[in-house]
Structure 1
């Protein structure tokens, strides 16, 4: 038996490597140090081994790791230096049988060992472990084909079409920064080379996102300077740091070093309320202008709502400019290829109240940054075509129903006329901010959930002329979202049989059906949504005193007082409030 002589290795790792047979250790640049490890990426590495150990720093490093395609072994181990919870693995159906799987804590992380009946590609096992390290969802490339540097899966043949983008210097012809690739006869274009060997210009939104954000905290404000310190090359993004800041009111300071950009952006993407007094000119030149404006905007971090509003503005700007999806859009433009945009959305709007029609249409029309279709379902009346035309909506389908038709059937029929990738149920009397739909799409992208929605954080009690903030938890996977905010994949809606044929509790029945499929529901922030409570006319009947009970409220404000993110026109105010 060959023994590993490095006494600094954790016992579990040392024992794995001390077993007999030929082995290889592959490690990323940020991974724990293992003597003799080969640095990744290493596309030229090939061969069959008794065991392969891949070492990475954390979950972000795992999801970015590029393992050589041609390395095989019956035993594949993954050592993650820092990880909050134990990994799991459901073997792919095309793999040989998984005969043993073991995880054990190692320091602040875990060692995972997977043993198969026959040799497997280590790259496939690591890729699957990376995929399921977040809530599993398809890796959406958007149509952009990227050579990640893992090497070809077999001999390159004439019919093999080259990628759109090559990470690093795959060829060296003219420009050492952006090498010139030959024009391929199949694509009619040359591949674009980034000149760098990894996705260093973006951050993984599945790892760095606001999941776990806490609205009401009493922790201190942390100085930015103490977080970035004097790390050579800049402080790298770190999930553990983000988790440690969840109880802090925020981060303040001055940003002087451009090399800390990835770290600061990771805080912003994660919803950490960062407020900067100043930035150096070098920093200002290296960061997205909208994100920079959000970072230096004044904010009262002691105000619960203002703090969360600031967090939302930060995460929106950071995701738009610095996420992996944003990187794909930039690369597609440079490579001259088309890439999939945001999914299309069909809004399903059922209403029994002709007097609310113009108001409801205005809430749909004000949505920005999204491709919308409206399926309007008047329930018990005929919609005035002049009112529909006056809304200015481009794509409207009207599906009227008699008053006797159950509400669930009205929604199911409206859904059958939807042509969007996603279906969004909106209510006719609630207020929606202009970024309501784009926030839901953003939450869907970073959560991987098949259904997303918001909490009913703000209620406007019409008889009391009072706004109530409920203090609901948000930015978490849950079994409940507000009925007027449900965004669901159209295919999943079809699989569960659409909205159930019931007269009430339609939303609860759909949520329950989705959970039964094993799909995930994610609840994002509710600051762009305001639920209207009249004295009567709701499927969920509840006494006003119930909603005003101090046990169920975080704040009560006189009059119409939603979050500033709602952004409403004076014409949308309740009649008595407008007066």
Structure 2
């Protein structure tokens, strides 16, 4: 259920450079069953037409669209989004992954229950589009304090950004952000793997992180289904989780 207290209002930041992800990024936002939220979209590709995003944003409440030059690293774009955020909790959504309707409420509830400064997912589901396989990565890293979480699942208290910023990197910026936050004494907690699905395109097409499907299947992962279509995978990640 939504958590209506304004102190728990969430600013969602999505940085995007892929035009084919326009619909998905707005759908993820609209899908969230959470009352107090806003979406800040940062375009990071000089070829993207900002008017297309502004027009799409009109169908939703509390959405703003901005642009940063393509030369700006992802970390700088995220920091820009943080500077524009209206609320006390800041979430990072990727433009190409799947966030179930209960995702945001579940993340906020985990933060409240654990009193952590940063929450996210270390154990998480991943769908390999090329092989049609559903993985559970880091299955033993759920519902516990951790040194880092998946960047696409970050939920951060605004107070953290008074002492830590995203590094000016295009890759590894979230890993370094978690490391810097730990060094400053902030607590990071990984919730359950439910309600989020990382979607990997065939042969890492369009992904910043280049890694083979074989490597993903062999490193800290369980193959849950060997022949599963994406709609089935989406249903699989939406099961109600166990809370800490």
TM-score using structure 1 length: 0.38
Match of 1:552 among 216, 221, 227: 221
Q: Report what 2:233 is aligned to.
A: 562
Q: Whose helix proportion is higher, 1 or 2?
A: 2
Query: Structure 1 525/551 Cα, relative in aligned 2: closer, same or farther at 3 Å?
Result: closer
Q: Report what 1:484 is aligned to.
A: 152
Describe the superposition over 1:266-310 as per-residue Cα deviations: whole angstroms up to 9, x where unpaired.
Answer: xxxxxxxxxxxxxxxxxxxxxxxxxxxxxxxxxxxxxxxxxxxxx
Coordinate RMSD, CA, aligned: 2.2
Q: Report what 1:539 is aligned to.
A: 208
Query: Structure 1 529/551 Cα, relative in aligned 2: closer, same or farther at 3 Å?
Result: closer
Query: Structure 1 444/387 Cα, relative in aligned 2: closer, same or farther at 3 Å?
Result: same
CA distance in structure 2 between the partners assigned to 1:355 and 1:539 by the alignment = 15
Match of 2:15 among 350, 355, 358: 350
> Are 1:363 and 2:28 an aligned pair?
yes
Q: Report what 2:68 is aligned to.
A: 401
Q: Report what 1:473 is aligned to.
A: 141
Q: Report what 2:242 is aligned to.
A: none
CA distance in structure 2 between the partners assigned to 1:436 and 1:516 by the alignment = 28
Measured after TM superposition, the shift of residue 566 of structure 1 is 4.7
User: Residue 488 of structure 1: SS of its match in structure 2?
Assistant: strand
Query: Structure 1 416/517 Cα, relative in aligned 2: closer, same or farther at 3 Å?
Result: same
CA distance in structure 2 between the partners assigned to 1:382 and 1:491 by the alignment = 34
CA distance in structure 1 between the partners assigned to 2:237 and 2:27 by the alignment = 13
> Are 1:452 and 2:119 an aligned pair?
yes
Q: Report what 1:493 is aligned to.
A: 161
Match of 1:376 among 37, 41, 57: 41
Measured after TM superposition, the shift of residue 490 of structure 1 is 1.2
State whether residues 425 and 484 of structure 1, in contact with CA within 8 Å, keep that contact through their aligned partners in structure 2: yes
Match of 1:514 among 178, 181, 186: 181
Measured after TM superposition, the shift of residue 397 of structure 1 is 1.8
Query: Structure 1 396/340 Cα, relative in aligned 2: closer, same or farther at 3 Å?
Result: closer
Measured after TM superposition, the shift of residue 342 of structure 1 is 5.0
Query: Structure 1 518/457 Cα, relative in aligned 2: closer, same or farther at 3 Å?
Result: same
CA distance in structure 1 between the partners assigned to 2:210 and 2:188 by the alignment = 25
Measured after TM superposition, the shift of residue 499 of structure 1 is 1.4
State whether residues 453 and 482 of structure 1, in contact with CA within 8 Å, keep that contact through their aligned partners in structure 2: yes
State whether residues 92 and 155 of structure 2, in contact with CA within 8 Å, keep that contact through their aligned partners in structure 1: yes
State whether residues 397 and 417 of structure 1, in contact with CA within 8 Å, keep that contact through their aligned partners in structure 2: no
Measured after TM superposition, the shift of residue 355 of structure 1 is 1.2
> Are 1:438 and 2:109 an aligned pair?
no
CA distance in structure 2 between the partners assigned to 1:382 and 1:499 by the alignment = 26
Q: Report what 1:427 is aligned to.
A: 94
State whether residues 127 and 198 of structure 2, in contact with CA within 8 Å, keep that contact through their aligned partners in structure 1: yes
Q: Report what 1:171 is aligned to.
A: none
Larger Rg: 1
**Runs of at least 4 residues of structure 1 off by over 4 A?**
339-342
Write out aligned runs for 1:193-232 (5 A).
none
Describe the superposition over 1:240-287 as per-residue Cα deviations: whole angstroms up to 9, x where unpaired.
Answer: xxxxxxxxxxxxxxxxxxxxxxxxxxxxxxxxxxxxxxxxxxxxxxxx
CA distance in structure 2 between the partners assigned to 1:565 and 1:448 by the alignment = 28
Describe the superposition over 1:109-160 as per-residue Cα deviations: whole angstroms up to 9, x where unpaired.
Answer: xxxxxxxxxxxxxxxxxxxxxxxxxxxxxxxxxxxxxxxxxxxxxxxxxxxx
Pick 1 or 2: higher relative contact order, CA cutoff 8 A, min separation 6: 2
Query: Structure 1 552/409 Cα, relative in aligned 2: closer, same or farther at 3 Å?
Result: same
Number of aligned pairs?
Answer: 229
Measured after TM superposition, the shift of residue 340 of structure 1 is 4.7
State whether residues 453 and 485 of structure 1, in contact with CA within 8 Å, keep that contact through their aligned partners in structure 2: yes
CA distance in structure 2 between the partners assigned to 1:553 and 1:459 by the alignment = 10
Query: Structure 1 342/494 Cα, relative in aligned 2: closer, same or farther at 3 Å?
Result: closer
CA distance in structure 1 between the partners assigned to 2:220 and 2:162 by the alignment = 39
Q: Report what 2:241 is aligned to.
A: none
Query: Structure 1 369/342 Cα, relative in aligned 2: closer, same or farther at 3 Å?
Result: farther
State whether residues 148 and 188 of structure 2, in contact with CA within 8 Å, keep that contact through their aligned partners in structure 1: yes
Write out aligned runs for 1:73-152 (5 A).
none
